[in-house]
Amino acid sequence: MAVKKRSSKRSWRDPDDAPALGRAWFDEADVMLGPKVVRRGRPTAATTKQAISIRLDKDVLAHFREAGSGWQARINATLRRSMANTKR
């Protein structure tokens, strides 16, 4: 025997009975500056970088990595100095 489904109608809600807007709601809200959404987090850098794939010798990579985090930035700085030294 088929079972009759319940009605899917929702009960009426008074729009004036909106929930209280607490601190948690405001912490999650988007910040607007006029019509533009202000993004949270780290701002976009003036000079952006491009992700690439490069093959390096193991000993070269080990040399830069042994100094700790920031090894990619150190490789970039070394390449930049090399560019300055080889002006055309």
Tens digits of residue pLDDT in 30-52: 888 899 988 777 878 888 889 99
- Is 40 contained in some domain? no
- Is 76 contained in some domain? yes
Boundaries of domain holding 88? 55-88
- Is 64 contained in some domain? yes
- Is 2 contained in some domain? no
pLDDT of residue 4: 73
- Is 11 contained in some domain? no
**CA gyration radius, the chain:** 29
The total domain count for the chain is 1
- Is 41 contained in some domain? no
For 64-88, what is the mean pLDDT? 92
Q: pLDDT at residue 2 above 80?
A: no
- Is 21 contained in some domain? no
- Is 75 contained in some domain? yes
Tens digits of residue pLDDT in 3-14: 777 767 777 778
pTM of the model: 0.50
- Bridge partners, 38 (sequence order): 31
